[in-house]
Amino acid sequence: MVVIVLKVVASALVVLTTTAIGFSIARRYRDRPRHLRQLQSALQSLATEISYGATPLPEAFASLASSQPAPTDAMFRAAAISLRKPGTTAAEAWQVGLERLLQESAVSIDDLAVIRQLGAVLGLSDRRDQERHLLLVVQHLQREEVRAEHERLQNERMWRYLGVLSGLLIVIVLV
Amino acid sequence: MGINYAVILQVAVFGLIVAVLHTILEKSGREEYAQVLVLLGVIVVMFTVIRWMNDLFSTIRAMFQF
């Protein structure tokens, strides 16, 4: 009797674990297009702040940190805090923000490679040049978003089923 | 008769799950993984069956030992 109860509990644990793993992988695929979209709108806001508002970079970062939705705001908050320390360049602060974004959101390292180059431009060249660079990156992110959406359709549901079914498979083999 | 239905059922369910996984993997464009999965499934079931055959042969050998 005790053995049967133990078996049931252990089987449930195995299935639950693999299901959780499958769903967490599927969530990355589901979140990536949304986060890329948020990043685009954030960069567009930054372009507007720079070109029309002529806002200084620390203030622009701070205002984006308070206006952007969940994963993107953390990036600008980290960048703003890092930029407030004396002796930090805009490129270094940008780098700090991107590392934060990589932790918080589902965007990949490849997505960030293009955005990282922006750090060399921000706060150094004139307004039109910065705006042009920002909009170029936004266009790149748009293409990346279409690809991410395609990947999502292909992989999200598969990883969910894969998690549940592989758990069942393990249980069946071990029982 | 002492036929053990549980093991037969186990193999049947195993086959069913492998079949479903194969369909899902194939639908999402990973034919090569689907093939490997089916191959692994066949191997696992084969080992189970080999164990039963071993039992069977031992029983027969014990039967004919005078």
Q: Minimal Cα–Cα distance from A87 to chain B, Å?
A: 51
Q: Please check whether residue A2 touches B, CB under 8 A.
A: no
Angle between helices A70-84 and A2-48 (to 10 degrees): 60
**C-alpha distance from residue B13 to each of A1, A122, A171, B20, B66 (Å):** 24, 60, 11, 11, 41
For the segment A76-85, the average pLDDT, to the nearest whole number, is: 81
Whether residues A161 and B24 touch (CB distance < 8 A) is answered with: yes
pLDDT tens digits, A118-137: 777 777 777 888 888 888 88
In chain B, where the domains are located? 5-64
Whether residues B10 and A166 touch (CB distance < 8 A) is answered with: no
Q: Please check whether residue A121 touches B, CB under 8 A.
A: no
CA closest to A167 among chain B residues? B17
Q: Please check whether residue A155 touches B, CB under 8 A.
A: yes
Q: Please check whether residue A162 touches B, CB under 8 A.
A: yes
CA closest to B37 among chain A residues? A166
- Predicted structure pTM score: 0.75
pLDDT tens digits, A2-58: 899 999 999 999 999 999 999 999 998 998 898 888 888 888 888 888 888 777 777
Asked if this assembly's ipTM is beyond 0.90, the reply is no
